[in-house]
Amino acid sequence: MEFRDNLLKAISFYRKANRTLTIGTELANVARTYRCESFVWYLRYWLTSRPSEKVAMLEKAWASARECLRQMYEAEIGYEYVVTYNQLSIIPWIRFFFSQAKKSRVESAKEAIELGQHVIESLPQVEHRAELATCYVQVSSLIGLIADIEPSDARSPVHLLRQYWKKAKELSEEAALIESSRIGGGLDYEDTMEGGIKSCERALPYVLKTRDNFLIGLTYDFLAMYTALRSVITDDSEIGAKLLSQALSHAEKAKAHYDLISMISPRAGMLWVEFPEPEYLLTTSWFEADPSRKRGALIKAAKVLPHLLKVARSSLYPEAVVDAHHVCSKTLLFLAKLENNTQKKPCGTGRNQFEFRKKLGGRSPYIAYYP
């Protein structure tokens, strides 16, 4: 309730500021009116719980933000320009995860990358180091999103990602680590599950100090995924089960922080925090040596699959829907394998898992890690 009340107060103040700024004709003030408009739409995004409305709010917020940043660039107002970019570039990043108008979401991300590069080029590297470091990481996060869906051009973006990450850390390591959750925890370690865990664990103390529920939730979110993926590639079932329990704990923490700000996890991949139970139970069954306990875990998972699909579809995140079908397919497949007597096989288990796999048209890049 406090979060919502504060947002409503902020919207009221932005509207009052906008009315004051419209009195003048100075280019910088005109830009600031667009910034106020953008924040009003962006804050309304956090107020609504309906994903379809959230998309509309984000599109309107970015239209105003784009015009604001264009005019700030022309007005050459330096520090305010980079601060505004760092505040508003999150809009196309969040928008990217929604399924509507794929071309539009990609264009918005590319616009934000271009604007961010203008910010980097326009400010001296010796000034405003923390803000510039933040800008480098935010541009990197958008480049990473584009690289995921345009793999043919991925080599150059990956090189640029590492270059920007290195520069951000040189400017301000703390600022870089705070923002690193948007690129999965940073790029300091090897591109493995262990590397992802190390990156998130290193960033977490810095992120916790900000008390920013969005960044804290996102850091725990990626930590949950990396830890869950690490659990299934270990040869020791006891270690695997322990890692999986840790992953579930991280997922629950992420969800708790997201709920405070009406956030739905945009992160695709293993152990989606919005409803991790089915995949947790599925993966738990892989560590069970006792067939009856293995079957019990799979039956529990199968019973909650319809809710997983419902939650994924309501999120409007296409990758979440793909991963939900993947979990459904795997759960029913492993359950079917345990049924030695065909008369005991749950009705439609094999047929249903085949139907789920047919629906995996577009695949999350993280699915390749699944057994």
Looking at residue 76, its pLDDT comes to 80
Looking at residue 337, its pLDDT comes to 87
Same domain, 110 and 90: yes
End-to-end CA distance of the chain: 42
> Does any domain span residue 190?
no
pLDDT in tens, 44-54: 999 987 777 88
> Does any domain span residue 311?
yes
Same domain, 101 and 76: yes
What count of other Cβ atoms lies within 10 Å of the Cβ of residue 194? 12
Looking at residue 371, its pLDDT comes to 39
DSSP state of 346: P
Same domain, 103 and 207: no
How large is the C-alpha radius of gyration of the chain? Answer: 22
> Does any domain span residue 189?
no
pLDDT in tens, 127-173: 789 999 999 999 999 988 888 777 655 456 778 888 999 999 999 99
Looking at residue 321, its pLDDT comes to 93
> Does any domain span residue 188?
no
Same domain, 45 and 157: yes
Q: Report the predicted TM-score, pTM, of the whole model to 2 decimal places.
A: 0.85
> Does any domain span residue 270?
yes
Same domain, 33 and 11: yes
Same domain, 29 and 70: yes
Which residues does the chain have with pLDDT short of 70? 1, 24, 100-101, 125-126, 151-156, 186, 189-190, 340-371
> Does any domain span residue 334?
yes
Q: How far is CA 117 from CA 90, 130, 135, 164, 351, in A?
A: 15, 16, 9, 11, 51
Of 82, 66, 68, nearest to 128 by C-alpha is 82
Looking at residue 305, its pLDDT comes to 96
Whether residue 308 contacts residue 268, with contact meaning beta carbons closer than 8 Å, is answered with: no
- Choose one of 183, 217, 235: the last residue of a domain: 183
Q: How far is CA 217 from CA 57, 99, 129, 226, in A?
A: 22, 22, 26, 14
- Choose one of 256, 276, 291: the last residue of a domain: 256
Looking at residue 155, its pLDDT comes to 58
Looking at residue 23, its pLDDT comes to 75
Same domain, 220 and 331: no
Same domain, 294 and 353: yes
Residue owning tokens 């999120």: 315
> Does any domain span residue 340?
yes
Q: And the tokens for 122? A: 């326009």
Of 55, 57, 52, 54, nearest to 40 by C-alpha is 57
- Choose one of 240, 256, 272: the last residue of a domain: 256
Give the relative orientation of helices 193-210 and 213-231 as an angle to the nearest 10 degrees: 160
Looking at residue 207, its pLDDT comes to 95
Whether residue 143 contacts residue 157, with contact meaning beta carbons closer than 8 Å, is answered with: yes
Same domain, 96 and 157: yes
> Does any domain span residue 209?
yes
The count of structural domains within the chain is 3
Same domain, 207 and 156: no
The string of DSSP letters for 74-87 reads HHT-THHHHHHHHH
Same domain, 119 and 245: no
Q: And the tokens for 153? A: 């051009």
Looking at residue 365, its pLDDT comes to 35
User: Where residue 142 sits, what CATH number does that domain have?
Assistant: 1.25.40.10
- Tell me the H-state helices in the chain: 2-21, 27-47, 51-75, 79-88, 90-95, 102-122, 129-149, 155-171, 173-179, 193-210, 213-231, 237-260, 277-286, 291-303, 305-315, 318-338, 349-358
Whether residue 331 contacts residue 298, with contact meaning beta carbons closer than 8 Å, is answered with: yes
Looking at residue 2, its pLDDT comes to 83
Domain of residue 141 covers 1-183
Rounded Cα–Cα distance for residues 282 and 301 (Å): 6
Same domain, 249 and 279: no
Looking at residue 366, its pLDDT comes to 33
